[in-house]
Amino acid sequence: MTRSTHWIVLAALLAAPGCYGPDLGDTPFRCAPTGKACPDGYTCVKDICVREDKKLDAAPRETQILTDAELAPSKEGFVYLDGHPVKPGQNCIDEASEPNNSGDTATKVTPGLIPDWQICYEGDVDQFYVELNQGDKIAVKVKFFHKNGDLDAALVDPDGFVIDQSRSEDDNEELGVSAVAKKGRYIIGVYGFGDDTNTFDLDISISIN
């Protein structure tokens, strides 16, 4: 490649949407500072171009951001589970299972009613996991009284994508998928909206297809 050709190619890359960075792995583009921020099929999230995935089982399939502790939970947009500050779960009813604030430290659970969990402080997240086979059906109910604190929940597949979420403004949250797409570890994340805290029970049902 001649020097002039090199500069033409470089200029074209700089003018293209997003700045390519192979070290970024599955999200190899940084958002461009001017013009079109990301290539087609990507959305700019916190300066990184995140791939837009199709819906799975009629539920939103959103990229889970794992490293930003500054983003407060919201009722719309992306779901943020990991990355929140971890504090001692002192005097919490589920202290023995803390910290389970991340996918790596999620508490293993089995189907049935599992009582006595607690979101203890602002930014606390309780994460649980179950092992599922392709085609299995899962239904989860997070039981709580909204008047004591607004809780929200999300279901995350083995690739780290949110495949269902429940962010209502009344008692309880319900999650479910009629047939999971692949075998693996599925995460159930429960967290308070804003600075809300509360106690809750989990009720998990799994049907093997």
Fold designation for 77-207: Jelly Rolls (2.60.120)
Residue with token string 């089982």: 57
What value, to the nearest 5°, has the Cα angle with vertex 117 and ends 131 and 196?
A: 115
Q: Percentage of the chain with pLDDT > 90?
A: 45
Question: In this predicted structure, which of 23-27, 81-85, 89-93, 157-161 has the lowest mean pLDDT?
Answer: 23-27
Model pLDDT, residue 90: 75
Write the pLDDT tens digit of every residue in 124-173.
999 999 999 999 999 999 999 999 999 999 999 998 888 888 999 999 99
pLDDT averaged over the chain?
80
More confident of the two residues 177 and 8: 177
Model pLDDT, residue 160: 83
- Check: pTM over 0.95? Answer yes or no: no
- What residue segments make up the domains of the chain, in order of their start? 3-51, 77-207
Torsion of CA 69, 74, 78, 80, to 10 degrees: 30
Residue with token string 């500072």: 33
Model pLDDT, residue 83: 67
Q: Could you tell me which residues come within 8 angstroms of residue 189 by beta carbon, excluding any fewer than 6 positions away?
A: 79, 81, 125, 126, 127, 128, 153, 154, 155, 156
